[in-house]
Amino acid sequence: MENIKPYTKYKSSGISWLGDVPEHWSIKRIKYVFKEQDKRSEIGLENLLSVSHYTGVTRKSDKVMNGDFMTNAKTLVGYKIVEKGDLVINIMLAWNGSLGISKFDGITSPAYCVYKSLIGGEKYFGYLFRTKNAQQEFKKQSTGIIDSRLRLYTDKFFNIKTVIPSLEEQTAIANFLDYKVAKIDRFISKKKQLIKLLNEQKAGIINHVVTKGLDPNATMKDSGIEWLGEIPKHWGVRKLKYVADCFPSNIDKHTKEDEQQVRLCNYTDVYKNDFIINNMNLMIASASVDQIEKFSLLKGDVIITKDSETANDIAVPAFVKEDLENVVCGYHLSVLRPSSKLVGEYLFRTLQCKSINIQFELCSNGVTRVGLGVYDMKKARIPIPPINEQKLIISHIEKETSQLNQLIQTIEKEIALTQEYRTALIAEAVTGKIDVRAFVIPTVSEQEELYEEIEEELDMVAEDAESYENE
C-alpha cells in the first residue's frame, strides 16, 4: 500500500471510544450533527428497506427469494420514509452495527430510527458508526438488561459525543474507504468463489462413493428410488428409522437455577462444522436430568438441523468424532444414533450427499420458517452397504478430501485475516490515525493494474499475521 502516514499533530478527544484525534478536528454531540426524521408513508407502496449489521441498509426485494414474503405486515402504510443519504438505525441492534447510510429512497419499519445529517458527510459517519468502538459505545448507551432487549433511543444517541473532521476531509476519507473496501471485498469474493469450487469438488467425491460405491466394475441394480438411481447390487436401501434412533432436542439456550450446567451444541455449531469435537468453544446452558440423559452426545452420533429459514438448510449434518465432556444437543437440532447396521460417519457422509439429503428438504414445511418432523425424518431412505464397505468408503473420502480440506482452511484463514485488516483500516481512517487527504483514486485502467498489487499487499498482511501468531 502507498505510504500513508499519520497526521502531524494530535489531541486527546476526551472520548474513550475515539482516543486521540487530529488536532484540528472538532468534537460535538451527535444532536448537532443529525436530526431525527419521522415522515410516514401514506400509501405503503415505496421500496421496503431492511437494516443488517452485515450489509447496512438494503432493499428487501434484493434479498427475497421467489415465493417468499416481503413482510408479514398487513400494510406498510405508516412505515417511516427514508431518503437517500439518511442514517437508518435498528435501535434494538445498534450495538452490533445494524445501521447504515441508505443508498435508496424507500420506507422502513416504524421501530427503526431515521436521521438526516445537518452538516453533510453522510458516508463518513456511515463508516464511523459501524466501527467496533462505536458499537461498544452504542451498547453502553443503550437501555435494557440483556443484549436481546437493548434499545438505543434517540435521546441517548444524540447525547453521544463524536469527532467531526472538516467536510472536505470527511469526503476524502469516505472516498478512500470506498476504493479500498471495494478492492478488499473483491479479493474476499474471489477467495469465497474458490472455496465454493473446492466444496463442489468434495461434494462430487462424496456423492459418487455413497451412492455408487468404490468398485467401478460392480454390478448395479435399480434402487427403486427415482432420485437415487442405480446402486451396487449387494447394497440395500432402508428407512432411517430401521437403522438409527431419531430424536429431536428440546433443550434451549437458557440457564435455570434448578437445572444442571451443560455445554450446549447449538444450531450454528452444526451448521458451520463437519465435526463436533471436545475442544470446541460451546456455549454454557442448563438442562434437566432427563434431558441430559436423553440428549447427551456420544461418539458416533450424527446431528442434523431440523428447523431453518429455508428448506435447503434442513438436515445439514455434523458428526460427533470423539468422546465429549458434558455436551448436549440443543434446540432446532435432532440426534441420529446409528444401530449396529450403520457406521455413524458413513451416515454423516450420506447426509452430505445432495441426492439423499433432498428428501428432507422436500418433506420440510412452513412459511416464515421451515421444519422437519420426526415422522418425515424417520421415513427417509438411505443406501446401506455392508459394514466393512461403509468403513472403506469413509477412509476413501477422508483420503480424497484431506488436501481439499486443508486448502479450504488456509483460504478461510486468509479471508478472516483480510476481514480483520479491512476493519482496522476503516477504524484508522475515520478516527484520524492515518491521513488520507493526499490519496488519489486511480483511474479505471490504473485500478486494474493495481489489483495484483492489492492482492500482494493482502497476502503480506496474512503472512505477517501468521508470523505473529507463530511467535
DSSP 142-185: -B-SSGGG-B--HHHHHHSEEEE--HHHHHHHHHHHHHHHHHHH
pLDDT in the model for residue 457: 55
Query: Is pLDDT at 450 greater than 60 in this prediction?
Result: no
Helix axes 167-212, 387-430, angle to 10 degrees: 180
- Amino acid at site 182: A
311-336 mean pLDDT: 93
Query: Is pLDDT at 68 greater than 50 in this prediction?
Result: no
Q: Cβ(238)–Cβ(381) under 8 Å?
A: yes
Mean pLDDT of the chain: 89
> What pLDDT, in 10s, does the model give residues 41-51?
999 889 999 99
Whole-angstrom Cα distance, residue 326 to residue 342?
Answer: 25
Whole-angstrom Cα distance, residue 375 to residue 183?
Answer: 49
Q: In terms of Cα–Cα distance, which of 135, 142, 174 is closest to 17?
A: 135
Model confidence band, residue 257 (pLDDT cutoffs 50, 70, 90): confident
Element (H, E) at 412: helix 387-430
* Portion of the chain with pLDDT greater than 70, in percent: 91
Model confidence band, residue 451 (pLDDT cutoffs 50, 70, 90): low
Whole-angstrom Cα distance, residue 154 to residue 142?
Answer: 10
Q: Which of 113-117, 436-440, 460-464 has the lowest mean pLDDT?
A: 460-464
In which residue are the cell numbers 477467495 written? 191
- Amino acid at site 149: R
Q: In terms of Cα–Cα distance, which of 375, 383, 392, 286 is closest to 330?
A: 286
Neighbouring C-beta atoms of residue 297, cutoff 10 Å: 20
Whether the CA torsion 142, 144, 150, 155 is positive or negative: it is negative
What is the pTM (predicted TM-score) of this model? Answer: 0.79
207-215 mean pLDDT: 95
Q: In terms of Cα–Cα distance, which of 437, 418, 447 is closest to 5?
A: 437
> What pLDDT, in 10s, does the model give residues 374-399?
888 999 999 999 999 999 999 999 99
Query: Is pLDDT at 137 greater than 90 in this prediction?
Result: yes
pLDDT in the model for residue 69: 45
pLDDT in the model for residue 264: 95
213-240 mean pLDDT: 93
Whether the CA torsion 49, 50, 56, 58 is positive or negative: it is negative
Cell of 350: 450420506
Q: Which listed CATH number (3.60.15.10, 3.30.70.1290, 3.90.220.20, 2.60.40.10) goes with 217-384?
A: 3.90.220.20
CATH node for 26-164: 3.90.220.20
> What pLDDT, in 10s, does the model give residues 262-317?
999 999 999 999 999 999 999 999 999 999 999 999 999 999 999 887 888 889 99
Query: Is pLDDT at 452 greater than 80 in this prediction?
Result: no
> What pLDDT, in 10s, does the model give residues 187-205?
999 899 899 999 999 999 9
Tabulate helix, strand, coil % of the chain (nearest 5): 40, 20, 35
